[in-house]
Amino acid sequence: MAASRQQRFWKYFASLGHTVRVLAPRKWLFYEVKDYEEGKFSIKAVELFGGLRVRGLSDEVRDFQPDWIYCNESTYSGGALQAVQVGPEFGAKTAVFEWDNIYHTSPMEPKVLGDVDLFVCGCPGAKKVLLQKGVPEEKIWREPILQVGVDCDLFKPIKRDKEFNTVTCAGFTENKGVTDIKKAVREMGLKHLWLGTRRPYDRLSEPLDYGYTPGWMMYEQLPEWFNKARVHILFSRDTPEWREQNAPYANLEALTCGLSVVMTKAGDAPYFLKDCKAVRLIEQNDVKALKEGINEMLDYQGESGRRFVKENYSYLIIAQKLVEAFENA
């Protein structure tokens, strides 16, 4: 689903008059990428090797002649190192999108940190980490920007009967708190919908044996399923190796469909949604607070989160912020 989310955004970005080519892994989990071209927008399916490097990147850059190479891999990845090595050879500036808000590093990172022209941070925590690593503040764009925007034409309210009280759209992992969500909605007797899947390497302490799971679906099908429920729930928790890096997107997309949201104050998530009236922020690991938040938001009749998302995180808003960052770098 994430692959489609990004491709749709960059197609919109190109529609604003920018020439964009997305280099995407040919196969990513359940998603297969195919070459595509329309107007100023194109997708090239590529093979990855060692540390998320792109096989044949030099040939792609020579053919496309970009002004910018915008790498969406962390500064300590082989992909970021490859970008700063190839870009100058063809006169392209390099930018790296970084949203890792926990300190990780690798032997290849110093060259990336020194040679990148612009860092775009996806959350406040990522900026703090980059500053800890010695990146000059003037190389980091002044404000966090989401990786892509929210498609407010795709995600919208649909008039239909609500078959479910609550929904969770996420990977089926303990980091997302799915076991505790199951406990809460079962004890409350709610009809719950699970949107997502368990990847081969994910482990749960117990099976998701309560609620309905339709299984893997295309990204474009999500709005229909969101509109079957009233409240979106995420019960994320910080760990030594992982913290929430954005809203997350499922919360934003659910809000855009007119749902209310209950989520924890995990990682950098509160930064993005603390001012939205349709969101209730609760403490991590507190199942009692989770149930109280769900009860409160099941009958929420206040200001819609859709307007909040349109004004802060729509395609147009995020695209404008990225253009400003590139132009001012």
pLDDT tens by residue, 120-148: 999 999 999 999 999 999 999 999 999 99
Between helix 249-256 and helix 305-312 the angle, nearest 10°, is 120
Of 254, 244, 240, the C-alpha closest to 300 is 254
Six token digits for residue 29:
């989990």
Range of the domain at 203: 166-311
Same domain, 170 and 301: yes
Same domain, 236 and 324: no
Is 1 among the domain residues?
A: no
DSSP secondary structure string, 70-112? Answer: EE-S-TTSHHHHHHHHHGGGGT-EEEEEE---S----TTHHHH
Of 18, 4, 5, the C-alpha closest to 319 is 18
pLDDT value at residue 2: 62
Same domain, 140 and 248: no
Same domain, 187 and 234: yes
**With contact defined as beta carbons under 8 Å apart, do 195 and 233 qualify?**
no
Is 6 among the domain residues?
A: no
| pLDDT-above-70 percentage for the chain | 98
Is 10 among the domain residues?
A: no
Is 157 among the domain residues?
A: no
Same domain, 133 and 176: no
Please give the radius of gyration of the chain, using alpha carbons only, rounded to the nearest integer: 20
Q: What is the pLDDT of residues 82-121, one digit of tens each?
A: 999 999 999 999 999 999 999 999 999 999 999 999 999 9
Six token digits for residue 316:
């147009």
Same domain, 324 and 307: no
Same domain, 237 and 140: no
Same domain, 142 and 216: no
Is 286 among the domain residues?
A: yes
pLDDT value at residue 161: 92
For the chain, what is the domain count?
Answer: 2
Q: Against a cut of 0.85, is the pTM above it?
A: yes
Same domain, 51 and 120: yes
pLDDT value at residue 90: 97
Is 256 among the domain residues?
A: yes
Is 324 among the domain residues?
A: yes
pLDDT value at residue 200: 66
Same domain, 144 and 47: yes
Same domain, 114 and 131: yes
Low-confidence ranges of the chain (pLDDT < 70): 1-2, 29-30, 200-201
Between helix 2-15 and helix 315-328 the angle, nearest 10°, is 70
Is 107 among the domain residues?
A: yes
Same domain, 170 and 303: yes
Domain CATH code at residue 90: 3.40.50.2000
